[in-house]
């Protein structure tokens, strides 16, 4: 078997040839995943790689060369300093989304927070771990995504976060359908969530315009869940629905915060204003692109439907 050093070099080369921009960093992540951190590489670089690890490495490199996302290969993505489990059922948490977490962190101490389109649960779990929230709820239409979100909450000990399945706010509503015994506990939790209002609603919903999806890079377009990307013809479907529904679920002085696409600030802030939010603030990401909108409800009791 070749040495660790040689394998590292060959991996970098293979990923570079496959056109992977971050080939150097990704090689580091692959080796970490194999249990060979930077120190080990530097100190024991001349050691042979075991046959078992060599096989694992070859498989990972082959998959990655086809454009399959690295996070799905390792099954892990770091977000806001925590390792989240991910698979093909969830959008891979983005570095850009940390802007939303950073922004909301300063408002959320002791608050009840709702995260719509929670996916892997990364936003609400990070807020629970970093922001000292009173409690959190995440909802998503995909039951498989919620399995991952629940597992993440468990692994990371975000014990005050619950997840419900359904379309946006509908997930919170106690539908009067026949439920089997196993569902009873969940149903009870749901109906208590239904009577609850939230101090903060956050969401990073699917916001890519349908026609634009085909132009995204292969690793996104082919492997990440389409339902986590597609915001319909104008990309605004979820913002529209969330803005309309937010009043029913927010406390009178609640906060609504979104991640947005770089060209959606005007349209989304208009939707927020139309639905009774003011003091809207736009936050840019590190690349200087519009990324987060935060709005403040100022709802009279009479507005409280």
Q: How far is 35 from 50, CA to CA, in rounded Å?
A: 12
Q: Where are the alpha helices (DSSP H) in the chain?
A: 4-17, 23-33, 38-44, 51-65, 70-74, 98-105, 122-131, 143-155, 181-194, 210-213, 218-221, 237-249, 265-274
18 vs 220, beta carbon nearer ligand GLN: 220
User: Which of 119, 113, 78, 107 is closest to 204 using CA atoms?
Assistant: 119
Minimum CB distance to ligand GLN, residue 189 (Å):
21
88 vs 184, beta carbon nearer ligand GLN: 88
Minimum CB distance to ligand GLN, residue 89 (Å):
10
205 vs 276, beta carbon nearer ligand GLN: 205
26 vs 115, beta carbon nearer ligand GLN: 115
Minimum CB distance to ligand GLN, residue 201 (Å):
13
Minimum CB distance to ligand GLN, residue 43 (Å):
36
Minimum CB distance to ligand GLN, residue 160 (Å):
18
116 vs 265, beta carbon nearer ligand GLN: 116
What distances in angstroms separate CA 183 from CA 109, 139, 178, one per listed residue? 31, 17, 9
Backbone angles phi, psi at 48, to 5 degrees: -70, 145
Minimum CB distance to ligand GLN, residue 219 (Å):
15
Which residue has the closest beta carbon to ligand GLN?
A: 119
49 vs 271, beta carbon nearer ligand GLN: 271
Per CB under 6 A, residues contacting ligand GLN are 91, 93, 97, 117-120, 122-123, 204-206, 228
Give pairs for 6-10: CB < 8 Å, separation 24+.
7/49, 7/54, 7/57, 8/41, 8/45
Q: How far is 117 from 157, CA to CA, in rounded Å?
A: 21
């Amino acid at each position: 078997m070749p040495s660790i050093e040689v394998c590292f070099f060959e991996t970098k080369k293979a990923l570079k040839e496959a056109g992977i921009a971050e080939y150097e960093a990704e090689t580091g992540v692959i080796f970490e995943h194999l249990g060979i951190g930077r120190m080990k590489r530097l100190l024991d670089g001349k050691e042979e790689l075991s046959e078992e690890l060599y096989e694992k490495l070859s498989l990972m490199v082959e998959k990655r060369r086809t454009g399959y996302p690295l996070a799905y290969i390792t099954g892990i993505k770091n977000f806001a300093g925590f390792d989240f489990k991910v698979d093909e059922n969830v959008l891979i948490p983005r570095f850009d989304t940390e802007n939303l977490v950073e922004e909301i962190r300063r408002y959320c101490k002791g608050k009840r927070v709702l995260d719509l389109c929670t996916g892997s649960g990364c936003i609400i779990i990070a807020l629970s771990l970093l922001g000292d929230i009173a409690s959190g709820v995440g909802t998503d239409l995909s039951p498989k995504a919620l399995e991952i979100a629940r597992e993440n909450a468990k692994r990371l000990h975000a014990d005050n976060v619950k997840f419900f399945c359904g379309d946006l706010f509908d997930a919170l509503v106690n539908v009067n359908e026949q439920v089997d015994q196993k569902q009873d506990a969940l149903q009870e939790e749901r109906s208590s969530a239904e009577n609850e209002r939230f101090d903060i609603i956050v969401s990073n919903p699917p916001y890519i315009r349908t026609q634009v999806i085909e132009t995204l890079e292969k690793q996104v377009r082919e492997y990440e869940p389409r339902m986590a990307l597609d915001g319909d013809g104008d990309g605004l479907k979820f913002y529209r629905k969330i803005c309309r529904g937010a009043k029913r679920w927010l406390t009178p002085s609640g906060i609504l915060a979104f991640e947005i696409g770089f060209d959606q600030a005007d349209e989304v802030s208009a939707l927020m204003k139309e639905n009774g939010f003011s003091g809207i603030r736009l936050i840019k990401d590190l690349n200087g692109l519009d990324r987060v909108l935060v709005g403040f409800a100022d709802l009279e009791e009479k507005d409280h439907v």
